[in-house]
Amino acid sequence: MTGTALNATRRAADWAALAADPQVDVLVVGGRGDRRRGRPGRGQPRGLSVALVERHDLAFGTSRWSSKLVHGGLRYLASGQVGVAYESAAERDLLLRRLAPHLAHALPQVVPIFHDTPASAHAIVRTGVALGDVLRMAAGTPAHELPRSRRIPPAEAVRLVPALRRDGLRSAILSWDGQLTDDARLVVAIARTAAGQGVRVLTRCAAEDLTGGGATLRDTRTGDTLALRARAVVNATGVWAAQNAPDVRLRPSRGTHLVLPDTAFGGLRAALTVPVPTERNRYVLALPQVDGRVFVGLTDEQVDGPIPDVPEPTDAERAFLLATVNRALDRDVRPEQVLGAYAGLRPLLDSGTGRTADLSRRHAVIVGASGVITVVGGKLTTYRRMAQDTVDAVLRATALAAGPCRTHRLPLVGAAPRRRLEALPAPRRLVDRYGTEAAAVVALDAAEPVADGMSTTLAEFVFAVRYATGAMTAGDLLDRRTRIGLVPADRAAAEEAAERALKATV
């Protein structure tokens, strides 16, 4: 674990090393945590020296507010972008089978067909899932990993979605996509894998005054600064990208999810997909999660004005999501059952016209007039491909040289073939979050829950601070290393344990 472990000691050593020798090949700004993985770091044959800086914590931005799906690219097909759709399906295959089988798994999805479902809506869904099967096969994903889609009778649909409206239910379509245990955990695994390749990963380190030749780094804990020279500067700051590269124009859009107890859906065994009435090809999803939660999302609302650090869902979005999902249920999910809500901002490139829902989700790599290279847009699913394209752009724009990309063969921290993961002597819940490191969490011998009725253990907090994942505050533990913070009441209950874990280990 040592090479990949992030913690306060390593951060201090990395800052001191950069202060002593403020020069790297590539500076990456923005800590979703992936873009520097296009090539191995210093110490590897033909490697580049890379520093990744994040002004808050890993996964602080949009990446932790996603729907946590590993998409097969259907959305791109709907707009005729076959190549991009294939790219997404291929990245999904890599995540499921090689890079992160512990964090990515198959998710069954049910689209109910009622007697009053318009024939056109039915046809769109049927065609969509058939094309999804073609994409899956083209990407080489075997049916035992992601089964073929099929039509199912009402009784089977109700078994998978017990709260489904029986009245008028004609049949349903069952298909499969990828799902992440947790998006923030994927980000941390990527950052640690990069650290294992020699990348200096510095959280709470803001980059200011970016140019093609470097930036000022500011340690947001101490206020110390240093002028870092870099042969290439990558602006990977998502929805904040335009603040760091004036030639990038974004039109952010907000997507909101509600957090509900699984009991509100009678025990969901598959995702429920509900078409949005009057919209072509837009859906609200009820997505089953670990720990007895269901997320219902999502919206698509243009956002004007300053970009907040943490976006807030609106009352109108909450009402829209409940009203839409309730169309497909036997009994309504009520507003008082909602345990929490979260919103994220999509960093969409401004193409000048149309609704945000119609803007391309494809990523772009833009070399600005100042020489700063911005990578923006895309999906969490395609993070690796975005990294590869960015490093290729860096090599084209500079005199740097590096070997061929090998991240498609580099499993993330904790990864192992699914069969090996299943045989690990640790609780399934921990294996799905920590993979092969689950045993190290168990060995900490602190299995008591962080608060009554919660499944997160004190050992997970201690592991995050002392050993591996660079947590430095109670917020890091509650909101990103675990997702307890998605339910405000749970967050309040677990705060004391988080503070205790920090004091005991720092």
Ligand X SMILES: Cc1cc2nc3c(=O)[nH]c(=O)nc-3n(C[C@H](O)[C@H](O)[C@H](O)COP(=O)(O)OP(=O)(O)OC[C@H]3O[C@@H](n4cnc5c(N)ncnc54)[C@H](O)[C@@H]3O)c2cc1C
> Cβ atoms within 10 A of the Cβ of 166, count?
10
26 forms part of the interface with ligand X (CB under 6 A): no
Contact segment (CB under 6 A) with ligand X among 111-119, 345-353, 393-401, 454-462 equals: 345-353
Contact segment (CB under 6 A) with ligand X among 56-64, 148-156, 195-203, 485-493 equals: 56-64
Contact segment (CB under 6 A) with ligand X among 50-58, 104-112, 147-155, 490-498 equals: 50-58
Among 378, 411, 414, 470, binds ligand X (CB under 6 A): 378
Nearer to ligand X, 10 or 362 (CB): 362
**What is the smallest separation between the CB atom of 398 and ligand X, expressed in angstroms?**
21
Contact segment (CB under 6 A) with ligand X among 60-68, 118-126, 313-321, 415-423 equals: 60-68
Q: Which of 179, 176, 246 lies closest to 210, judged by CA?
A: 246
Nearer to ligand X, 11 or 55 (CB): 55
466 forms part of the interface with ligand X (CB under 6 A): no
SS3 344: strand
DSSP string, 176-239: EEEEES-HHHHHHHHHHHHHHTT-EEEESEEEEEEETTEEEEEETTT--EEEEEEEEEEE--GG
Among 39, 71, 97, 384, binds ligand X (CB under 6 A): 71
Residues 52, 188: Cα–Cα separation, whole Å: 13
**What is the smallest separation between the CB atom of 221 and ligand X, expressed in angstroms?**
14
Q: At what angle do helices 82-94 and 383-397 cross, to 10 degrees?
A: 110
Binding track, positions 253-272, relative to ligand X; x by CB under 6 A = --x-----------------
481 forms part of the interface with ligand X (CB under 6 A): no
Nearer to ligand X, 90 or 239 (CB): 239
Spatial CB neighbours of 493, under 8 Å, sequence gap ≥ 6: 451, 452, 454
Spatial CB neighbours of 317, under 8 Å, sequence gap ≥ 6: 254, 256, 299, 301, 343
- In terms of Cβ atoms closer than 10 Å to its own Cβ (0-12, 13-18, 19+), residue 445 is exposed
Amino acid at 123: A
Contact segment (CB under 6 A) with ligand X among 97-105, 373-381, 431-439, 479-487 equals: 373-381
Instruction: Answer whether 33's CB lies under 8 Å from 236's CB.
Output: no
206 forms part of the interface with ligand X (CB under 6 A): yes
Contact segment (CB under 6 A) with ligand X among 153-161, 226-234, 342-350, 430-438 equals: 342-350
313 forms part of the interface with ligand X (CB under 6 A): no
**What is the smallest separation between the CB atom of 132 and ligand X, expressed in angstroms?**
15
380 forms part of the interface with ligand X (CB under 6 A): yes
66 forms part of the interface with ligand X (CB under 6 A): yes
**What is the smallest separation between the CB atom of 450 and ligand X, expressed in angstroms?**
25
Count of residues binding ligand X (CB under 6 A)? 36
Contact segment (CB under 6 A) with ligand X among 76-84, 161-169, 265-273, 343-351 equals: 343-351
Contact segment (CB under 6 A) with ligand X among 15-23, 239-247, 409-417, 479-487 equals: 239-247
480 forms part of the interface with ligand X (CB under 6 A): no
Both tokens assigned to 304:
């004007």
Among 214, 347, 414, 470, binds ligand X (CB under 6 A): 347
Instruction: Answer whether 473's CB lies under 8 Å from 502's CB.
Output: yes
Name the one residue in this structure whose structure tokens are 């039109």. 251
Both tokens assigned to 128:
């969509």
Residues 99, 114: Cα–Cα separation, whole Å: 39
Cα 153 from chain centre: 33
**What is the smallest separation between the CB atom of 343 and ligand X, expressed in angstroms?**
7
Q: State the SS3 of 39-108.
A: CCCCCCCCCCCEEEEECCCCCCCHHHHCCCEECCCHHHHHCCCHHHHHHHHHHHHHHHHHHCCCCEEEEE
Q: Which of 184, 191, 169 lies closest to 289, judged by CA?
A: 184
Instruction: Answer whether 102's CB lies under 8 Å from 421's CB.
Output: yes
Nearer to ligand X, 71 or 433 (CB): 71
Residues 236, 47: Cα–Cα separation, whole Å: 20
Among 108, 344, 411, 485, binds ligand X (CB under 6 A): 344
Among 4, 49, 62, 175, binds ligand X (CB under 6 A): 62
Where on the chain is the footprint of ligand X (CB under 6 A)? 29-32, 53-56, 60-63, 65-69, 71, 206-207, 236-240, 244, 255, 298, 344-347, 378-381
